Structure formats: structure tokens, C-alpha cells
Amino acid sequence: MKFLKKNKQIFLLPLMLLLVLAACKPSPDKARAYYESILDQHQAVLEKEDMLNLLINREMKKALKDSVGANMSTGEVQQENPADLDVAYADFCLQVKESISKTKETGPFHTNHKLLDASMALHETYLKLSEKEYKEVIDIVKIPPSLYTTENDERFFDLTLHIDTCLQTEIDNFTRACKEFALEYNFTIIPSQE
């Protein structure tokens, strides 16, 4: 009888341990809230980047219009203040740095660093690109049409292609990390309606 009682305890101990561990696992709601806090920081950067890109495109269209005498639309931004580009660039750089800081403060989700690491890699890529490539793109865009050369145009194209390639790689990694995180913590990512 003692043998049966002892075997029963041996089998119950691992079962109890599994139940305790299962009860300690973070809930899908907490995981979703964490995911959304990480995503909010990316959304903030994307909004600033969209405005910057809109202004860069406006300036390029304006330069093209001035250089060929064509009557082209300047896009959604109606104001023709060149300082807007500098303000948008400064806002973009500031938002990237702020998002890095807030994401670091958020920290990992329990012991899971994968989403945090992918998020930080994307933010760090934005930071690197904002300090070098985006700055050079803006310098090119500010060249007066009378001084603008085909070399400037080629450099502009090379820089924007490099920016897109670097970001796409990190965006793909971040997207993959988001999907894996949602799968691991059992919640569904709802696509943006924007």
C-alpha cells in the first residue's frame, strides 16, 4: 500500500507543477496590450515619416515644375513654406528617438524578448537612416532647380532605394515577430483599417 501511495505522489507532483506553470502564463489580453503598446510606437514613427515623405515629394515636384516649366500638382500639402520640410524632418527624428526610449521602457513581455528585439531593430534602423540617408535626401531636395544635376537625381534615387530596402528588411522581421508573438500568446492581430 505504501508503494501505491508513493507512486501516486510521484505522478501528482508533475501534474501539479504543470497546473501551476499554466496558471502563471500571461493572458492573451495582457499579451495583446503589450503588442499594441509596441505597435503604437511604430505607428507614431510612420505618421511622421509619411509627412516627411509627402513634403519631400512636394519639393521634388516643385523642383521639377520649376526646371521644366510644367504645371504640376504639389500633392496634399497646400502650404509652400520650405521650412516645413525642416520641421517635418526634426519631428521625424524626434519621434524616432522618443519611440526608442518608450520601447526600451516597455521592456520584454515576461521572459519573451523577440517582439521587443524586432521592434528595437526597426527603430534603430530608422534612427540610422534618419541621421544619414534622410538628411542627404533633404539636402538634395533643397538644391535650387538651376543647380540640380542628373548626378543629384541619381543620388536621390539611390538613397531612396537604400532607405526602402533597409526598412523593408526590418519591417518584414518585425511583422514576422508580431505574428509569432500573437500565435504564442493566443490572440488575433486585427489588420488596420487605414
- Single-letter amino acid code for the residue at 70: A
One-letter identity of residue 190? I
**Mean pLDDT over all residues of the chain?**
85
Residue 13 belongs to some domain of the structure: no
Q: Inform me whether the pLDDT recorded for 51 exceeds 80.
A: yes
Residue 9 lies in a domain: no
The CATH number of whichever domain residue 100 belongs to comes to 1.20.58
pLDDT digits (tens, 9 = 90+) for 85-114: 999 999 999 999 999 999 999 999 999 999
Grid cell 531612396 is found at: 160
Q: Which residue range is the domain that position 88 belongs to?
A: 28-184
Q: How far apart are CA 175 and CA 194, in angstroms?
A: 17
* 43 inside domain: yes
pLDDT one-digit tens code per residue, 134-172: 999 999 999 998 999 999 999 999 999 999 999 999 999
Which residues have a Cβ under 8 Å from the Cβ of 132 and sit 6 or more positions away? none
* Cell numbers at 159, concatenated: 538613397
Q: Provide Rg for the chain, Cα atoms.
A: 25
* Number of independent structural domains in the chain: 1
* pLDDT given at position 155: 97
The answer to whether position 57 is within a domain reads: yes
Q: Which of 154, 116, 121 is nearest to 38 (CA)?
A: 116
Q: What is the mean pLDDT of residues 65-78?
A: 47
Q: Residue 143 domain-assigned?
A: yes
Q: How many CB atoms lie within 10 A of CB 138?
A: 17
Q: Give the other-Cβ count within 10 Å of 61's Cβ.
A: 15
**Is the separation of the CB atoms in 56 and 138 below 8 Å?**
yes
3-state DSSP call for residue 81? Answer: coil
Rounded Cα–Cα distance for residues 71 and 148 (Å): 19
**Three-class SS state of 193:** coil
For residue 12, give the 3-state DSSP assignment: helix
At residue 52, does pLDDT exceed 50?
yes
User: Within 10 A of 89 (CB to CB), how many other CB atoms are there?
Assistant: 20
Residue 36 resides in a domain:
yes
pTM beyond cutoff 0.75: yes
- The phi, psi pair for 20, rounded to 5°, reads -65, -45
Give a yes or no: residue 78 inside a domain: yes
Q: Is residue 11 part of a domain?
A: no
Residue listed under C-alpha cell 523593408 = 168
Cell numbers linked to 185: 500568446
DSSP 166: H
